[in-house]
Each structure stands twice: as C-alpha cells, then as structure tokens.
Structure 1
C-alpha cells in the first residue's frame, strides 16, 4: 500500500493543539499558543531545551480577525524567529555574547525587512524596467511589465534558496526543518510520538512558512497587475523616476494586505479535506519544500521531538517519548 504523502491531514481538523515551528542552528523551535520551546543539540552531544513566552502583536481581539491578523502574525513570527535563532547560535557556539534585545532586535528586524524589500520588490521592478528598455516588455500600465516582475521575483526567490542550500550549516538547518515537519506530522497523526515514529512521516507540511512566502509572491503578482494600472489611471506623476517611485511605494503599501491574504489562504488550504482543490492549493508549496527541507538523521529527530514536548508543556501526554535532555 502506498504511504500517504501527508499523514495526519485529517488530524489538522481535530481539537488537538495547532503546533508550528522553525528550524534554527542545530535545533528546532516549536510554538504552541502563547509559548514556544527551543531545543538545541549542544557541542557535547546533549540536548538542552527551554520554554519561553511568545512575543505577540495580536493580543487584541480585533487583530485576531481574518484578513487583519496576517501581517501582525508575520511580524511577530520574524521577531520570535530571530530571538530563537540568536539563542541557538549562543548555545551551539557556547558563547556569552549579548542577546538581541531592545534596539538590537529592532535593528536586526529592520535590516531583514530591508533586505527582503530590496530583493523581492525593488530588484524585480528594476529588472522589469530593463526588459522595457530592451523592448521585450511594456511599462507599468501594461500586463507584460508585471509578468516580468513576477518572473524575476520567482527566479530570485528560487535562486536564493538554492544558493544558501550550498552552505553546509544551512543544509543542516534544512535537515532540522525536515525534522520539525516530521515531528508535527507524528503529533497530528495521533498515537505515539517518538523519533522512530517521526522518521516514517513526510518531511513536507502544508502549513510551512515556505508555502506562505510562495503564496505571498503569487498573490503579489496578481494584485500588482490589477491595482498598479488602476492607481496610474487615477494619478500618473510627471517623469519616469517619479512614476516608478510611486509604483514601488504602492507595492510596499500592498505588503500588508498581500500577507493577510496569503495567511488566510494557507490556513484554508491546510483545513481542506483531501481532494482535487486541496491538492491544487498545496502542491506548489509542497514542491518548494523539497528545496527547503532535507531528510533528517535520528539525532535531529530527537531534538525536534524534545522541542514538541516542551512546547506542549502540561498538554503533552505520556505518548510523547523523548531522548534524555536538560531544561534551562
């Protein structure tokens, strides 16, 4: 009998806690509600875990509403992800460096957002301008410009993932990414959760952040192609620099609604019962995860299961079997 590609999908629609995670340096971060756990493989071979409060921007009820929660969730995920990554580097390097807090954290987050804007908004736009000057595409008022823009976004995104996967340390992070998915699948499937059980699961998961980024790119292509020409019909500045400056600024303003739409779409795709439309919505993200996840080894799966156990806290049952680890 062929093993299902996504075991545990039915369990996503049950009352079990929705656990998500992220790979870090030599470890895994798992979130459950208002807390997250970080489990790291130490240089001496042991596993250390700690449970920490989740920094949230969506505590007010109106920020939890559909189509409003997406952008705040993205920002808080970046903040908590950077903090978890920083802690994992400190643990694995056995360093006593200052933690990223206060303005250090704000600066790091700002630089990360600036790099993302440069790579995925400004660079594709400028490359599409080059196609215009080469007479291979139209201006921003036409569809061809935005098709080129979307093409370059996808190429930059895929190329970036491929290039960083060549770095040995990043490749190990991608293995921990696979371990995180496998542990979550084992939990959602019910029954015993252990490294051995997780090893049988798929390393691909429909709620992955990689899928979210792909949805952001796809939605941005559609909205830019529709809304930018409408904006320029209302107001077109004099001069090419002003026109394209306004277009880039408008694209930046659209980041919030685009991320909100992408967030709702990925949640909808994860909740869908298995079938044609579910497969269509999940397929691109799952295919992309073949680049951002690698098959983990037993030691990496042990770390992921420890992170899951600590994230669940009092909700964890006796069915979650971990390797020995220390807390603190």
Structure 2
C-alpha cells in the first residue's frame, strides 16, 4: 500500500460513501444522471481522547462512529436518489441507531441464546451449550446475508459495494483512478465490513464459551456487556489482515472473503464512476495529482489556484459538490 492513506467505505443507495482520515464523502447518482458529492469533516471522539486510539478500545469507537456515519450517508443518498424528501434529523438518526441496535440484539443475541436450550437433551455442559449458541448465531447471520442478497434492490446496493472495493484496490495499487483500471481489480477486500462481522461472530463463539450457563436474562446481559471486548478483538484482527501478507493470516480470513461473493456484485461502469468520485473527494490534493493526473476538487485548491485544472467529469454525468 506504500504511503497511501488508509481509506474505507460503504455502499449506499445509488452510490458510495468513502472515509479517509480527515473527510468522508458520499457520492450518489441522482435521477437526472448527475453525480452529487457531499463531503464532511471527520470528527472522531478519539481525537479528543487519545486513549481511545489504543488497541481493544479503538474497535468499539470505530464501530459506533461507522454506524453513525453510515446511517447519515444512507439518509443523504436516499434524498439524492429521490427516495426521500429530507435527510434524517439528529433525533431521527438517534432513533434509527437505537432501533438497529435493539433489532440486532434480538436477532443475534436473544434468539440464539434462547434457542440453545433445545440442546439440553444432548448435554447440560455449559461450554457445549455456549458453543451451540455461537453456531446458531453464525447460522442466523449467514441466513440473513443470504436472504437480503436475494432482494433486487439490495443486489444493486451490493453492486456499488463491489465498486467501492475495486476502487480502493486500485488506489492502494497506486494506479490512476479510471474506470478501466478499477474494473480490473477484485471486488473482494480483506478490510470489508462483511469480514469484520463474520470475525465478530467467530470471536464471540470463543469469548462467550467460558461464561457458564445462567438464566436467559443474565446470558443476554453478559453478551451485550462483552460486545466491546468482542468488537475490540475483531477490529485488531481485521487491521492485521489488511496489512499482513502472512499466509496463515490470509488463509484465516478467506471465509470472510468468500462471504463477500454474496455481499458484493460485479459493478457496472457508471457505478464505478460514482465510487471514483467519492474516493477522489477524500484524498488530499497532492495524492489526487499524483494518482489521477488532472482531477482536483476546486473547493480544496485555493492554495493552488494559479495551477487550477478542469475537473474530470464522466461523459454522461456532471459532478456537484457540497460541504
């Protein structure tokens, strides 16, 4: 990856959100065929409290911040794509996050730990019952991913997910960000959120296996309380996988890569165009100049106004930016 920035992203409705160290950008193709790009400064709580950047803590912080940024980007994309009239307010976004967390707790914590009681006919061993709970959770997760991947609208979002991965691969390879270059790369990426979620499921099996088998309420509470630990371990694994070429590590993350065959789809060229615009919007000017030639965002180029160049715009779409 050389000296390139660590960037990540997320597919949204008719677009892609990219996140760099200082900016997030959500690029969406609107009903008129134009690519609308909204950039926002990144304000991480870990910048105010550096201790939160420490291993095992940064995973939970990153997970919560990614959830907030992701929902905000989805709201913006729904508006730009013409599916919603207004973006979510802060109160509505908080309600959406709470609802999502409650639903996830029911689906991936309460249901599997409650259903594991049906294995009592096999054994009363707490370790075995906790393992069965973990495998039930994993099965529910895989069934959920498979189920949503069959939905027509979601398949289109998954195409944008593939465009996001291909574009990041191209950037990390140091090649100019063109549709032709991007399309040559794999739609699978080791730092994908799909990888992270699968690792969370696997890590939780081992962490929860040693908790004994108290009553249902205590089991649910213990799983929720230990989620930051599970997220912290999983985050460190995914960071290591993204940076290491160790064959053992690369083999260990292959199930997560295989799962991405469900959560990504080969993107169309116009989807790649959107992903490219999103990534360019979070790169510093010097990287855009070095990696992509002519393209530079005008609102970030006041200091180099004497060397202003025309924005590279896809033939079928214009680019509008907002901050």
- TM-score surpassing 0.5? yes
Equivalent in 2, 16, 20 of residue 8 of structure 2: 20
CA deviation after TM superposition for structure 1 residue 166, in Å: 1.7
Alignment of 1:108-147 (within 5 A): 108-132=96-120, 135-136=121-122, 138-139=123-124, 141-147=125-131
Cα RMSD between the aligned structures? 1.6
* 1:262 and 2:234 matched: yes
CA deviation after TM superposition for structure 1 residue 46, in Å: 1.4
- Equivalents in 2 of 1:91, 1:109: separation in Å? 21
Partner residue in 2 for 1:202: 186
Alignment of 1:99-248 (within 5 A): 99-132=87-120, 135-136=121-122, 138-139=123-124, 141-226=125-210, 228-229=211-212, 243-248=215-220
CA deviation after TM superposition for structure 1 residue 218, in Å: 0.5
Equivalent in 307, 310, 317 of residue 278 of structure 2: 307
Partner residue in 2 for 1:293: 264
Contact 1:57 1:73 in 2 (8 A): no
- Equivalents in 1 of 2:183, 2:166: separation in Å? 7
Contact 1:71 1:260 in 2 (8 A): yes
CA deviation after TM superposition for structure 1 residue 314, in Å: 2.5
Matched length: 298
* 1:325 and 2:309 matched: no
* 1:74 and 2:63 matched: yes
- Equivalents in 1 of 2:198, 2:286: separation in Å? 32
Moved more, 183-192 or 144-153: 144-153
The gaps in structure 1 that reach 5 residues or longer are 1-10, 237-242
Runs of 4 or more above 4 Å deviation: none
Contact 2:22 2:282 in 1 (8 A): no
**1:156-199 CA distances to partner (integer Å, 9 max, x unpaired)?**
11111111112211100000000000000000001211111000
**1:46-87 CA distances to partner (integer Å, 9 max, x unpaired)?**
111121123423221100111111111100100000000000
Contact 1:185 1:201 in 2 (8 A): yes
**1:75-106 CA distances to partner (integer Å, 9 max, x unpaired)?**
01000000000000011016432x22322111
**Secondary structure of the residue that 1:222 maps to in structure 2?**
helix
- Equivalents in 1 of 2:284, 2:92: separation in Å? 30
